Amino acid sequence: MTLANLLSAQQIIPEMKATERWDAIVEIASLLISQGKIQRKDEQNILAALRQREETMSTGIGYGIAIPHASSDCVYEVVAGFGRSSQGISFDALDNELVHFIVLFIVPRDQFQTHLRTLAAIAKFLNDRNVRDDLAKARDAQQILKVFTARAPSH
């Protein structure tokens, strides 16, 4: 499972408006609803699952990366969105640095292994400084998607 498989340009926010953790999560979730990836009737359930996960421990993992995630009965396949903030978002990250790249994903509740594999793959991918540099330089959603596609591990 790679970000290139999970994302389309319509699921990418090249410059987020949010400056705080929860606003950023809502901004990406709202995009996924507007794109039909999450049904509007499920919005509160999805946000509640994401909030519960964030209250356990921040998903700001360091290096300017956050990976808010949850499992839910409201989705039948992995759903993801990506947001970039050049100014940085206060995310209560493990290293106390601002977050510039957010990958939000929701996994069907009964797919625990998929959840772990997706989380690990995203963290490993974004841990590469060159990937983060390329994402920071990309001009728009199409270019961001090209970074994910060009650097996707081949299996």
Which H or E run includes 103? strand 99-108
Residue 47 falls within a domain, yes or no? Answer: yes
Q: Which of 12, 122, 13 is nearest to 67 (CA)?
A: 122
Q: How far apart are alpha carbons 105 and 80 in whole angstroms?
A: 4
Helices (H), 8-42: 21-34
Q: How far apart are alpha carbons 71 and 115 in whole angstroms?
A: 8
Residue 82 falls within a domain, yes or no? Answer: yes
Residue 69 falls within a domain, yes or no? Answer: yes
Q: How far apart are alpha carbons 72 and 68 in whole angstroms?
A: 13
Residue 155 falls within a domain, yes or no? Answer: no
- What's the maximum distance between 2 C-alpha atoms anywhere in the chain? 39
Residue 22 falls within a domain, yes or no? Answer: yes
pTM surpassing 0.85?
Answer: yes
* Identified catalytic residue from 69, 100, 115, 155: 69
Does the annotation count 69 as an active-site position? yes
Predicted confidence band at 154 (pLDDT cuts at 50, 70, 90)? low
Residue 110 falls within a domain, yes or no? Answer: yes
Residue 125 falls within a domain, yes or no? Answer: yes
pLDDT at residue 3 in the model: 81
Domain that holds residue 139: 3-150
Domain CATH number, residue 50: 3.40.930.10
Domains: count for the chain: 1
Mean pLDDT score across all residues of the chain = 93
Residue 94 falls within a domain, yes or no? Answer: yes
Exposure class string for 111-126: b at 16+ Cβ within 10 A, else e:
beeebeebbebbeebb
Cβ atoms of 9 and 141 within 8 Å: the answer is yes
Kindly report which listed range (3-7, 15-19, 30-34, 73-77) carries the lowest average pLDDT score.
Answer: 3-7
Which H or E run includes 3? helix 3-6
Over residues 38-91, the pLDDT tens digits come to 999 999 999 999 999 999 988 999 999 999 999 999 999 999 999 999 999 999
